[in-house]
Chains A and B, each alone.
Chain A
Amino acid sequence: MSYDWIIDVLFWVAVVFLVGVYVSWRATRLDRLHVRVETARAALDAALVRRAAAALELAASRLLDPAASLVLATAAHEARTADADNREFAESDLSRALRAVVDQPDFAGALTAGAPGDGEAALDELTSAAARVGYARRFYNDAVRQARAARRRPLIRVLPLAGRAPLPDFFEIDDDPPGA
């Protein structure tokens, strides 16, 4: 009977060890979610930059009428230079400007008739870039939602497992691509 305390100690050591493993697993998952949010955000920024560049390229290509060029160039410039507070509005405005220009009746026909190779390439690049903004934003918001849900869990709130990582914010814009 004198060895009972050893069993007790072993039991509590095992409990502490298992709790430690579990907490570390949860911390790994949370860390992975934060990394995912960051990489998804980088992808979203890259997609937005690429779309603005494609819009500027089309605006500067002399394939469009000057008024449409100006509309596109202004919207793309606004989107590029907007500060964090106005970013979502400016990107939504660019989406609307793109739709207004590209969804004109027989836009593709007129563009490719003017300059067969160049017009088609510029339009392809723009369509592709606009579609990728939609994809990248969905993936980013998906990651944000999961990270925020994880941060709300009791264990994560009680223990400082999130470190100093800021709570990520959703990115909400109108990203309907032209031609849809």
Chain B
Amino acid sequence: MSNPLRDMEKPDVIFCIGTNMTECHPVAATRLKKAIANGAKMIVADPREIGLVEHADMHLRLRVGSDAALLLGMAHVIAREGLIDEGFLAERTTEAEAFLEHVKEFTPEWASAICDVPPELIEQAALLYGRADRGAIYYTLGITEHICGVDNVQSLCNLALMTGNVGREGTGINPMRGQNNIQGAGDVGAIPNNYPGFQPVTDPANQAKFEEAWGRKIDIDKGITKVRALELAGDKIRAMLIDGENTLVTDPDREHCEHALKSLDFLVVCDLFMTETAELADVVFPASGFAETDGTQTNTERRVQRLRRATPPPGEAKPDWWIVSRLAQRMGFHGFNYSEAKDVFNELCSLSPTYAGLDWDRVEHGEYQWPVPEEGHPGTPRLHEDGFINGRGIFKLIRYRDPAETVDDEYPVWLTTGRRLESYHSRTQTGRSEGIDYLLSEEVLEVHPDDVAAWGVEDGSWVEMASRRGAVTIKVKATARSPRGTVFTSFSFNDVPVNVLTGGGYDPITDTAELKVCPVRIQPHSSAQKTGAGI
């Protein structure tokens, strides 16, 4: 997030797009509710009638995968109505002229034909955000899990730049990060393009820095993404080390994924449980988890906080850093002689410009948000206040692209996937906690009541849902939360392995899977017996 969580109580106009915040980031959503109680207006763009809609002034019910069109239409109106922040454009951005010329083409009528939102609503939303004194954008995977995820994010950046809604309280471009430490995983360099602290591996200066630190020259080329690695499994990729990820259940195109993992010569998995992925491994290491592990994690607002051990892990389970370090040492790798989490964190801080001012003791109370460039620096709750790191904000000329797969006669229904409040991902944890089943015990497919009738199925009956990759059996729930022609389910229940269906395409830049759009065919299923079992 460009802005701190506490800023969520400060906007006068909130624009939420592709974020089911009341279910996926419920505590953050409470702050938006407070802003609204204090008079803020909210625009929600989402195909579904999600919980946020209840609190919203406007609901833009766009067709799945059409975000870029909607955002172009909004940018058109903002430009046409002269709601741009001229001063901000002149001082802080570049390519503004080309962008303002570019958006002339994309009228609300043009956008409406693609995204199904009436042109007058696009106008109203654009005026509302464009006239805001403090306009804030919040988004989640509904923006990024598309083949045009990067385009979508850049479209949001364009809106914020043209209205100067960056670098001030209650504004910003705020992605809500999904997992407890997904921000940290990128921060620490567990990505193919960057060393810790987002230092590009392709920069020879960084290469030299890490060669000096670790005594080994590291490729100047980027690594490959997980998506490519799974594609190359059994071919160029022969072995994998997977820490704490149930790849088989949470990644798209399960059949492909299972084939990939099985094609490996050797697979090592660290986890809390014998997950579906661990079942395929040659060696499984027992990791310590929440309440058992000392360490640090970094949240969606870039805040580094301490995790503390309250109870010993079961049996012989060990912290992940210990497992990986001991394995590295057995393989003859140097520099893994850590005796506690503190040693690891302090080394990270010594190598990362964003964490440079931190160490184990300084993050004791969790008051720092990175970047913290040097000791004594108070941290940076709000990014881009005085300028952009790269100089100026660059407008990008985005065009709308169709999803990788679109509905047709054979697969006439849009499936979009997501999460539910009471369960977390593949339920390895929530599914093993007492009481959660009282609230949510099974997966359902949310279908508009009129579609339920039109498709000759019944509320509560079983259907077979098939995509170009596979089929699952799932129970229907009639609800107007889904728009007509679009159905929704989560991927949490292993007996409805929705990732059998998804995986039609990937963003060409980030390799992020298009999990939010998958054309399917739905037909009645006679048997109430579902395949598969488990949590």
Please indicate whether A and B come from the same complex rather than being unrelated chains.
Answer: no
Q: Which residues of A contact B (CB under 8 A)?
A: none
Residues of B within 8 A of A (CB): none
